[in-house]
Amino acid sequence: MSFPLTSPLFSCISSTFSNVTLFGASIIELGATQLTNVSLAYPYYPTYGGLNFCNVSVTYTHPGQNDTLRVQVWLPSTTYTERMQGIGGGSYGAGLNDVAFGGMALAVSQGYAAVTLDAGLPSQKTVDLQPEDWALLSPGNVDLYALQNLASVSLSDATLLAKDFVESYYGQLPKFSYWNGCSQGGRQGLMLAQQYPDLYDGILAASPAISWNKWAIGDYYPTFVMDQLKQYPYACELEAIRTAAINACDELDGVVDGIITDPEACNFDPSTVVGGPVNCSDAAGPLTISDAAVKVVQAVWGGARDDRNESLWFGLNKDAAITGSSGLAETSCTNGTCSRSPPPLCNTWLQYFLAKDPSVDLSTMTQTYYDDLFRISVQQYTSIYGTDDPDLSAFRDSGGKMITYHGLSDVLIPPMTTQHYYDAATAVDQSVQDYYRLFFSPGLGHCDGGLGGYPAGAFEALQTWVENGTAPDTLLGTSAADSQGNVIERPLCLYPKKQIYKGSGNTSVAENFACE
């Protein structure tokens, strides 16, 4: 059957989709609404105007699990390109919030049918997406069905529903299906490749929150160290140490730009700056870098350690911000006194999913208890939420292609988490680059931000790889503009190659760098 792609085959009414079913689920409610010439604006996205699409919303349940899940699919009415795009979530959110809707609007504006989901979690529309209202059935009892829905099941559900809606509306399935996500959305992408390898032709899994059960408790370690020391340094102390590391290692790559291009080459010892002066507006008087501040920074960089001082998980790189709202060593200072301010995402993981008691006082935690919680996190959640199975052979055999990029200045997920996974996937299949490619971006923060280059063309590179067979060897990273409006462009290299300055030419221009 053929039809003009500028118009659907059937009407945007609920009855068009009434024959859609989902194995293992029961549809509670389904509605379809036509939107014509609408303008949509969401955080982090420009305003998209003149959009025409059929909004299909479905609510369903898995009988016996007492859950209620929602999926939303936007079907372009005028510019459909026979492609579908799944939009991922962030933090503890599966999607179906303003940020995901921004991705939906972008996708529809480009002719994609777009889908996002809430995994049945009631906190999806809140600002911080924290799981306090769904994690526990009661103290001591995690809602494992809810976590399983977030981890994996809802991803398959939403994709199968969306493809059926596409077929019902246009008369045929999409020719190409893509997933697009960062952080939680990146983890979702890798879960799709691992557990549902035939659902998507292409997956962009950026800064993926894989090994969540390890880095989420590992990221808490700097707070634990501060509690052990009973000292909570000023942010300016910690940032002074980070600045000293950048000053020491910045020029190792031949370019002074505030970016540590090769973190492995930076051997800066923070103990060398103890006693150095600090300019700090928060302090009551003159301040010097304390030994406690050095130990906290070492915890950020070195990663979590057990009672035998053996490594449990990776730390951040030395130019990643460690204070601020997303910082792993944030403190709260008032009238010359500082107190603990643990990272909310990590604090929640420990309280709700590991201790399983939101009233537990983590500030009194011993090293033994921390080690126990780490063991619990690994043993109880690897199979559900780890998303780190390195065997991608089924995804390979289905013809899928996947791209991951990760900022080396990520403030939340240690880049070594992704490198560790990719090395494991390579050990399983030495030809992994034939279908999965990894790119690191020096100076880039978590998903975006920082001084480094953001690969805005990563999704287009994925599409070209899937549809034309041309695999990318580099991605172009472009920084945000500085206060003078200047930007830098750098090639993001196919791992394990690294970005090298050629030694001459404008350091803001990508062609003056090579991958070696």
Residues acting as catalytic residues = 183, 410, 446
**Three-class SS of residue 271?**
helix
List of residues 6+ apart from 31 with CB closer than 8 A: 14, 56, 57, 58
**DSSP-assigned letters across all residues of 337-366:** EEEE---HHHHHIIIIIIS--TT--GGG--
Spatial contact of 466 and 514, defined as CB atoms under 8 Å apart? no
Q: How many residues does the chain have?
A: 516
Bridge partners (DSSP) of residue 48 are 40
Spatial contact of 374 and 217, defined as CB atoms under 8 Å apart? yes
Spatial contact of 141 and 134, defined as CB atoms under 8 Å apart? no
Cα 447 to Cα 460: distance, rounded to the nearest angstrom: 17
Which amino acid is it at 257?
A: D
Handedness of CA 348, 354, 359, 364 (dihedral sign): negative
H or E segment to which residue 163 belongs: helix 154-170
Residue 25 in tokens: 């689920």
Q: Are strands 83-87 and 112-117 parallel, antiparallel or unpaired?
A: parallel
List of residues 6+ apart from 115 with CB closer than 8 A: 71, 72, 73, 74, 84, 85, 86, 87, 158, 159, 161, 162
Spatial contact of 161 and 20, defined as CB atoms under 8 Å apart? yes
H or E segment to which residue 434 belongs: none
Sheet arrangement for strand 83-87: 26-40, 48-61, 69-76, 112-117, 83-87, 176-182, 202-206, 401-407, 436-441
Alpha helices by DSSP H, 23-153:
98-109, 144-148
